[in-house]
C-alpha cells in the first residue's frame, strides 16, 4: 500500500483509503472486511451513506488493532450547526 501523510499535529494517516459511498448497507461489512484484508487502513464513510453500521461491524471482525485503522466520517449537510453536530456525534 502507498505511504502515509503527516498532519499538522504530527500524526499520520494512510495516503489512500477505501470509500464506501454508494455501497449497499447489506454488503458494507463484507466489502470493508475485504478492504482491510487487502491492506486498507483508512476507511471513509459518512452519516448520509447510511452504512456506518456495516463499517463498524467490519472493524470489530477484522482482527486488526483499532489503533492501526483510521476512520473518517462526515456529518449531513444540515447537521453542521453546533447543537446538531453534538447530537449527531
pTM beyond 0.75, yes or no: yes
* pLDDT, tens digit (0-9, with 9 covering 90-100), for 21-42: 999 999 999 999 999 999 999 9
Reply yes or no on whether 49 is catalytic. Answer: yes
- At 62 the pLDDT is 94
- More confident call, 11 vs 32: 32
Residue 86 reports pLDDT greater than 90? no
Catalytic residue among 20, 49, 51, 58: 49
Q: What per-residue confidence (pLDDT) applies to 5?
A: 93
Comparing CA positions, the residue from 78, 79, 80, 36 lying closest to residue 54 is: 36
Contacts of 85 (CB under 8 A, 6+ apart): 75, 79
Q: Could you give the angle at which helices 52-61 and 28-37 cross, rounded to 10 degrees?
A: 40
Nearest partner of 70 among 21, 9, 8, 15, judged by Cα? 15
- Tell me what pLDDT residue 85 has: 82
Helix, strand, or coil here: 86? helix
Amino acid at each position: 500500500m502507498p505511504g502515509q501523510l503527516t498532519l499538522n499535529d504530527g500524526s499520520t494517516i494512510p495516503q489512500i483509503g477505501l470509500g464506501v459511498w454508494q455501497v449497499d448497507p447489506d454488503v458494507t461489512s463484507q466489502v470493508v472486511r475485504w478492504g482491510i484484508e487487502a491492506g486498507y487502513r483508512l476507511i471513509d464513510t459518512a452519516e448520509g451513506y447510511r452504512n456506518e453500521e456495516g463499517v463498524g461491524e467490519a472493524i470489530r471482525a477484522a482482527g486488526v488493532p483499532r489503533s492501526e485503522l483510521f476512520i473518517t466520517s462526515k456529518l449531513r449537510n444540515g447537521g453542521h450547526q453546533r447543537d446538531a453536530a453534538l447530537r449527531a456525534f
